[in-house]
Amino acid sequence: MANQDFWRDRTVLVAGATGFLGGWVVRKLVDHGAKVIAIVRTQRPQTQFFLKGMQRHTQVEYGDICDTAFIERIFAANPGISVFFHCAYGADVNRVLKEPLECFHSAATSTWTILDLCRRKYPSCIHIISSTDKAYGKQALPFREDSPLNPLHPYEVAKASQDLAAQSYGKVYGLPTAITRCGNYFGGYDFNFTRLIPGVMKDLADGRQPELRSNGRFTRDFLYMEDAVEVQLMLAERVHEDPSLYGEAFNFSHGLEIEVIDIVRRMAELTGTPIEPVVNDSVRAEIPHMRLASEKAEQRLGWTPRFSFDEGLKRTVDWYSQHLRKNLAAAVSYVSTGVTSSVVALQDALVLVV
């Protein structure tokens, strides 16, 4: 568990504050009394950051993390920044395939830029860089930290480049930085309905058969978000104490290899909606099987997940069930006002009204 005393009154910069991981990190830091500077690229009302009113409890800086001058102004105006969390750019496979250069800039180029700025001017600032298990690419299981990074998909390449940059600056320049490579995040407040668990919950709520991009036999490893956010803070605390961790990467996951179709069936059972998924088998360049070994984190950091996968999945399903029911009631009220009565508008409102 994170040490609240460590974070109280500490000035912390978070990139990707309106993202899934970033929103949880900001919320936890605010709860612990940190002075949070949140980088927000665009106004996104349907995010935890704005839904929980985090803009009222943080210093919000609107801009692009790839803009070097913007980042330099933030550091110059806030010389007390002592920890930086790079949580920007979550995975959206279809978006990355269409805009690979944006992904590379947001993940890799921004990391090189910020690390080099701090190497030159703010060498004591701790950096926690959120890489991914996808950086390992396709290779023998389980993935271990000493396994070579073997990326292929543009997202994998961008995250592997970000990962290697952080390793380099930590080990070569002695910058206090460390890297998290986590299994697939899941939990409440993930509004990217192109991802498996949010998308399936939306389909089940709408009474539709969930559609799978793969053949359903792809396997994934996971990390429940309430554990993932603790990982971020805990690793920063440990880096502060132990220079031997500079430039080190750590796997964090439940250590499971679960078939996608099995996850969908578990969710259907938890919601009492016995609907079988539709298998499209249309994916391109995705890794078929993934599982992380987390022994390094267990041995060097004393880490184990607080929640099991099944506990996390139940909590997640319960959160979406409540959230979508609330939104459905709001959407029905919206339609009944006479603004519109179309089914399409009702479905749109289900996603957009909170």
Q: Which of 155, 169, 224, 320 is catalytic?
A: 155
CA 135 to chain centre: 14
Token pair 């409890």 is found at 57
CA distance 110 to 121: 16
Residues 6+ apart with CB under 8 A from 271: 201, 204, 317, 321
Burial 307-333 (b: 16+ CB within 10 A, else e): bebeebbebbbeebbebbeebbeebee
Which residues is 36 bridged to in the sheet?
A: 12
CA distance 319 to 313: 10
224 is known as an active-site residue: no
Token pair 């959206």 is found at 92
CA distance 16 to 13: 10
**Nearest CA among 33, 10, 27, 30 for reference residue 82:** 10
Question: Would you please indicate which residues are annotated as catalytic (active-site) residues?
Answer: 155
